[in-house]
Amino acid sequence: MLIDGGPKRVALILDPSRNVSDEEWKLETQMAARLVEGGRPGDRFLLFIEGIDNEASSFLSPDEVDRQLRGLVFARPASVDSSERAYDALLNAAQRFDPPAFGDALILFGHPEDVGSKADPDQVLQVILKRALRFYGFSFRDPLGGYAKLDQLSHETGYYFSFHSLLSLNQPRQMSLYEGFLDDVYAGIAEPYRLTIRMPSSEGPTALTIEVVNAKDRIPRADDVHYPHSVYSCVASSLPATP
Summarize pLDDT for 57-76 with one digit per residue, the tens.
689 999 999 999 999 998 99
Query: Is residue 234 in some structural domain?
Result: no
Query: Is residue 235 in some structural domain?
Result: no
Per-residue confidence (pLDDT) for residue 223, from 0 to 100: 61
- Cβ neighbors of 9 (< 8 A, separation 6 or more) are 43, 44, 45, 46, 59, 97, 101, 103, 104, 105
Q: Which amino acid is at 26?
A: K
Whether residue 146 is predicted with pLDDT greater than 60 in this model: the reply is: no
Query: Is residue 166 in some structural domain?
Result: yes
Question: Which letter does DSSP use for residue 60 in this model?
Answer: B
Q: How many residues does the chain have?
A: 243
What CATH number is given to the structural domain containing 18? 3.40.50.410
Q: Which amino acid is at 83?
A: S
Rg (CA), the chain: 17
Q: What domain range is 47 assigned to?
A: 2-192
State the pairing for strand pair 161-163/134-139.
parallel
Mean pLDDT of 125-150: 84
Query: Is residue 202 in some structural domain?
Result: no
Per-residue confidence (pLDDT) for residue 237, from 0 to 100: 41
Query: Is residue 236 in some structural domain?
Result: no
Query: Is residue 181 in some structural domain?
Result: yes
Per-residue confidence (pLDDT) for residue 110, from 0 to 100: 93
Query: Is residue 59 in some structural domain?
Result: yes
Predicted confidence (pLDDT) per residue in 180-218, tens digit: 999 999 999 999 888 777 776 767 777 777 777 776 776
* Cα–Cα distance, 22 to 204 (Å, whole number): 43
* Cα–Cα distance, 188 to 191 (Å, whole number): 5
How many structural domains are present in the chain? 1
Q: Which amino acid is at 17?
A: S
Calculate the dihedral angle through the C-alpha atoms of 138, 27, 36, 194, rounding to the nearest 10 degrees.
-10
List residues bridging with 241 in a β-sheet.
Answer: none
Per-residue confidence (pLDDT) for residue 243, from 0 to 100: 46
